[in-house]
Copies of this chain bind each other. A is one copy, B any other.
Amino acid sequence: MQIALLGGTGDIGEGLALRIARDTDNDVLVGSREAEKAAAKAEEYTDKLPDTTVEGLENPAAAARADIAVAAVPAYHLSDTIGAVADELDDTILISPAVGMQRDEDGLHYNPPGVGSVTQLAAKAAPDHVPVVGAFHNLAAAKLANLDADLDWDVPIIGDDEDATATVTSLVEDIDGLRALSAGGLANAAEVESVTPLLINLAANNDGMHDLGVKFW
């Protein structure tokens, strides 16, 4: 498959691009609003992984070729990013990993949009025929992008479309050290997304803990 990382020059996009390129049989398309930035990042990723092919493209061009597009952008850019590629999404699964958070003096807090969660906001912004699946919400970007780090994390998957959810589950399981778990339909996204500020608060409050992910058992 062709996997596009829209916003693939950012922190979570970098880690996903590198690990998908290294661990799976899929081709990686790095998307950006700027073609030159995408090309430069793609070259950087290919230098790290000489046996793989990573291409850099503007977001719409990346989306047009993608079987799966990951909206790897901050929550406040999500609707714009999806809107800019909406016409190119055809038989494409859209993955939403973004989380809405705000900081106060106590730490980070989950700050969902009015529709209930950022994943549901992605579903609202996407064309009706595009299945949206929530995944990759709870990954620490720096550790994800450090290919020397072995992962051992769970990835809760949320989606209303069975086929799309199964395809994303396979993709997640192909990445070394990630276990995909079904967390149910899109209506359950808030409980998944709100783990992310908790991970950041735990890292901030406990010596020696940083770049946290989560395991359930």
The interface of chain A, by Cβ under 8 A from chain B, is: 104, 106-110, 152, 156, 181-185, 187-188, 190-192, 194-195, 197-199, 201-202, 204-206, 209, 212-217
Contact = CB atoms under 8 A, between A and B. Distances in A.
Given A205-B184, A212-B216, A217-B212, A198 B109 contact: no
Contact of A109 (B109, B152, B181, B190): B190
Contacts of A214: 214-216
8 contacts: A106-B184, A106-B185, A106-B187, A107-B185, A110-B190, A190-B194, A191-B201, A194-B195
B187 A104 contact: yes
A203 to B, nearest CB: 9
A104 B184 CA distance: 12
Contacts of A212: 216-217
A104 to B, nearest CB: 7
Contacts of A191: 108-110, 194-195, 197-198, 201
Nearest to A183: B201
